[in-house]
Structure formats: C-alpha cells, structure tokens
Amino acid sequence: MAAERIISTPGSPQTEPDAQADVQPAQADDAAGATAADGARAALRRRRVGVLFSVALFAYVIDLISKLVVVAKLEGRSPIRIISDVVTLQVIRNPGAAFGMGQTMTVVFTLIAAAVIVVIWRISRRLYSLPWAIALGLLLGGALGNLTDRLFRAPGVFRGHVVDFISVQHFAVFNLADSAIVCGGILVVLLSFRGSNPDGSVHKPSSAKTD
C-alpha cells in the first residue's frame, strides 16, 4: 500500500516548527549584534576614562612637583622676575580658594574639592566624549592638587594652606592646580554651550516657534 502523503498549509501545526526554526537564527543574529555594540561602547568608555585619569595624573604630578620645588628653593626669598614686574615667582601660603578668595573658609573649600572629585567620578561612569574627558581630567587633577595641600600641609588636616607661587601684576597669585581648574572649567562651559554632553550626545536648545 502506497504511503499516504500529507500536504500541510501555511500556519498548520506541521509548518510552525519550520517557521520557528527560521526566526531563531535571526534573533540570534540580532542578539549577537547588540552584544557586539555593547562591547564596543564599553571599550570606548574605558578609553575615555583612561584619558580622563591620564590628564588628571599629569596635571596632579606637575602641580605637586612645582610646589615641592618652589617651597624648597623660593620660600622666604625675594620674588624672581619672569617678565619684568608683570609676572614673578613668589611663594604665598593661601588658606582660601583659588586666587586668594575666602581665606576664612579653608575647611569649606576642602569639602568642596572633595565633592568635586566625587561628582567627576560619577560622571566618568557614563563618559564617552573625548573633549569632556580632557576637561574633567583637568578639573580632577587641579582639585586633587589643592586638596593634597589642604590635607597634608600646615597648620593641619583639612586646614592646610595651599602653596601659590605664580604672581601676575594687578591680578592674583596662583598655582598650576588653579590653572588646570580654570582651563577645565572654561572647556566645560564651551562644551555645554555647544550642546555637547559627557555621554557623547549633542543637545540643541529648542527654538521658539513663530506664527
């Protein structure tokens, strides 16, 4: 007796396993693509965080070395002229913030510097922008530089006076950590003005509609 031939129609139980077999490879390809994209994005974030900490380390080390040198060589001595009387080198112990502001609020500025470091650390968890990595690195290195003075210099922990030594006529006396903070802050303002975000996205201010 001849074998009975079964002809199935689309959607019948006999064809559903075949349809599922076609869908599963497509889903696997989508999942593999998503995993590859996530891996590439994670690698990009690690590179940007690496840039942030490299810039911060450079700014911190340069500031630390400069302070050690000027304290050993210049403290208690006459100012050294760099550009006539416009720019000179002289060591000043500053209990306040950058450029000598708030000299009676040493502990407050210590806590602010520590808070800035925590904020930068949190932002670094979603950092994908190279310019933002550089800007935050400058801010972090400068904050760490002055925080080190607050913690380890006289008159005591959290009350240490920051070493300033670059004197500009009719302006202020500051250090390289202050310079890093100012440069990083200016870069942050410029990036924000252009609509750039730390995560690499760009936002544009919504324009008002006119009738």
Q: Is residue 18 annotated as part of the catalytic site, yes or no?
A: no
What is the DSSP secondary-structure string of 29-45?
HHHHHHHHHHHHHHHHH
Amino acid in the structure at residue 91: V
3-state secondary structure of 8: coil
116/181 Cα distance (integer angstroms): 11
Helix and strand totals (H; E) in the chain? 4, 4
48/62 Cα distance (integer angstroms): 21
Backbone angles phi, psi at 165, to 5 degrees: -150, -10
Backbone angles phi, psi at 95, to 5 degrees: -80, -10
| Catalytic residue from among 85, 178, 199, 211 | 178
Q: List, in sequence order, every beta strand (DSSP E) within the chain.
A: 80-83, 87-94, 162-168, 172-174
155/153 Cα distance (integer angstroms): 6
Q: Is residue 63 annotated as part of the catalytic site, yes or no?
A: no
DSSP letter assigned to residue 202: B
Under the phi-then-psi rule, with left for phi > 0, alpha for psi from -120 to 50, and beta for the rest, what region is 11? left
| Catalytic residue from among 18, 29, 30, 164 | 164
The residues carrying an active-site annotation are 164, 178
